[in-house]
Amino acid sequence: MKRIEGFINPSLCSDVLARLLFEGVFAYTFVMAYKEFGDVSLDTRVLSTSFACDLPACRGACCTIPGGRGAPIREDEVAIMHEAARVVRPLLSPRHLEILEAQGPLEGPAGDRTTICVDGAACVFVVDDAGIAVCSIERLYHQGRFGWRKPVSCHLYPIRIDQGSPERVRYEESPICRPARDRGEREGIQMADFLSEALERVYGTQWTASARNAAAEGLKRI
């Protein structure tokens, strides 16, 4: 854990390690319920879970998950990820820049690409902002210096997309997102609403609106 000190909230460490060991880092093994929206099968927990990212509490833990592989990258994102790697260099720490120059920004074969990780933890694109892991690509985007926000898989997290017929959109529950669930509960924010912009990037406004309406209807029945 020493390599990622400053990125992970110490109060979550034991919980994170226990759950990662139990779950093998991946999703739960219990049977999940899905609802069909067009040709997409949606995990109903996306509609029923309260969620709103709380960076001061989680410290950007989703950008520093131990395990050696980074964010999944779609094939249509490969070119812009290489472009981003050139632009973000002035923001990166010496260690991250060293890894980027030695290994490049991505690894894996076509169809199974991910970002490179530094020392088996933080994504190579991460910068440290007062102990919070921040995406350098997204930072430049918000500053108007880069025209693309970040990979879809990062924007959607903790939602994951499983390719297939039908395509499945599932919630990958993790203890590192406990602060987000707590904030969502406090402020009455649903996951489908908080991540609507990310969902629209993939499925468009009409599909996303249908999912958000379903989430709202579910709340009315509670």
Burial 31-52 (b: 16+ CB within 10 A, else e): eeebeebeebbbbbbbbbbbbb
Give the single-character DSSP code of 131: T
The whole-number average pLDDT for the span 109-115 is: 95
The per-residue pLDDT of the chain, averaged, comes to: 87
pLDDT for position 220: 55
Q: With 50 as the cut, is the pLDDT of residue 24 above it?
A: no
Q: In this structure, how many other beta carbons lie within 10 angstroms of the beta carbon of residue 122?
A: 28
Question: Which alpha helices (H) appear in 49-177, and where do they start and end?
Answer: 55-58, 78-87, 94-103, 136-142, 152-156
C-alpha torsion angle, residues 134, 111, 152, 59 (rounded to 10) = -30
Find where tokens 């709103």 sit. Answer: 52
pLDDT tens figures, 116-168: 999 999 999 999 999 999 999 999 999 999 999 999 999 999 999 998 888 99
Find where tokens 């993790």 sit. Answer: 174
Q: With 70 as the cut, is the pLDDT of residue 16 above it?
A: no
* Cis amide prior to 90 (ω within 30 degrees): no
The whole-number average pLDDT for the span 171-191 is: 97
The CA distance from 213 to 210, in Å, is 5
Question: Which alpha helices (H) appear in the chain, and where do they start and end?
Answer: 13-23, 45-48, 55-58, 78-87, 94-103, 136-142, 152-156, 178-187, 191-194, 196-220
The whole-number average pLDDT for the span 55-83 is: 95
Q: Of how many residues is the chain composed?
A: 222
Per-residue pLDDT band for 208 (boundaries 50, 70, 90) equals very high
